[in-house]
Amino acid sequence: MKNFLIFLFILSGTMAAAQSSSRLPQLDKSPMDMSYYPVNYPVSKIQPNKTLEPLIARVVYSRPQKMGRKVFEELVEKGKIWRLGANEATEIEFFRDVRIDDKKIKKGRYTLYAIERDNDWTVILNSELDVWGAFKYDANKDIVRMNCPITKITEPVEAFTMVFEKVTDKSIKLVMAWDDQLVSLPVSW
């Protein structure tokens, strides 16, 4: 009888675990990612005796995949507002006041959008936060718009990618790449 009760206890626990896991969301096709400047800031922060540059920026975005599609014909509509990724609109956070296109941007969180055209992307910093996609995009909340030239790349990028690169001691660029296009947004302080 004791063994039977133990069996029932284990079985009920297994069934409860299976039942609760069925309510968990499936893996997203466009997983969320995060990039920092300085690159790998959280890892560097925990290493002993590691000299750190101060934290300047972080971008949180979802990474849609090319999956054999023509990105800038099928997925991103030329001349239309795009959330710079998938799912929630991409958010960038500055941990100090910065300058973009010679405009002062206060420390804080912002949403990033873009409009892709033949030769450039208009990259847009907007004050609306916690939004899904670009469905309720409001141009009245734009902080700055900057035209960033497209560089054609020979090896297509499968997953939309954003990464910060150092330019000088007082400037960086946010590099955005997908398919055969690469665009850089300069940021200085």
Domain count, the chain: 1
> pTM for the full model?
0.84
pLDDT of residue 47: 85
Evaluate the CA torsion angle 87, 127, 137, 120 in order and state its sign. negative
Question: 3-state DSSP call for residue 18?
Answer: helix
Q: What's the domain range around 38?
A: 26-188
Model pLDDT for residues 17-69, shown as the tens digit of each residue? 555 557 888 888 889 999 999 998 888 888 887 767 899 999 999 999 999 99
What is residue 10's predicted lDDT score, i.e. its pLDDT?
47
Q: What is the pLDDT of residue 52?
A: 75
Tell me, yes or no, whether 10 lies in a domain.
no
Determine the Cα–Cα distance for residues 53 and 38; give it in Å rounded to an integer.
7
pLDDT of residue 142: 98
Q: Is residue 11 part of a domain?
A: no
What stretches in the chain show pLDDT beneath 70? Answer: 1-21, 51
Q: What pLDDT score was predicted for residue 43?
A: 86
Residue at 17 is within a domain:
no
Q: Is residue 159 part of a domain?
A: yes
Please, which residues have CB within 8 angstroms of residue 185's CB and are 6 or more apart in sequence?
100, 123, 146, 148, 173, 174, 176
Enumerate residues 6+ apart whose C-beta is below 8 A from 162.
33, 35, 59, 61, 84, 85, 90, 174, 175, 176
| DSSP category for residue 72 | I
Tell me, yes or no, whether 124 lies in a domain.
yes
DSSP state of 63: -
What pLDDT does 5 receive? 41
Structure confidence at residue 174 (pLDDT): 98
pLDDT at residue 40, rounded to an integer: 87
Is residue 99 a part of any domain in this protein?
Answer: yes
| Residue 96 is assigned to a structural domain of this protein | yes
Tell whether 13 is covered by a domain. no
Residue 120's pLDDT is what? 98
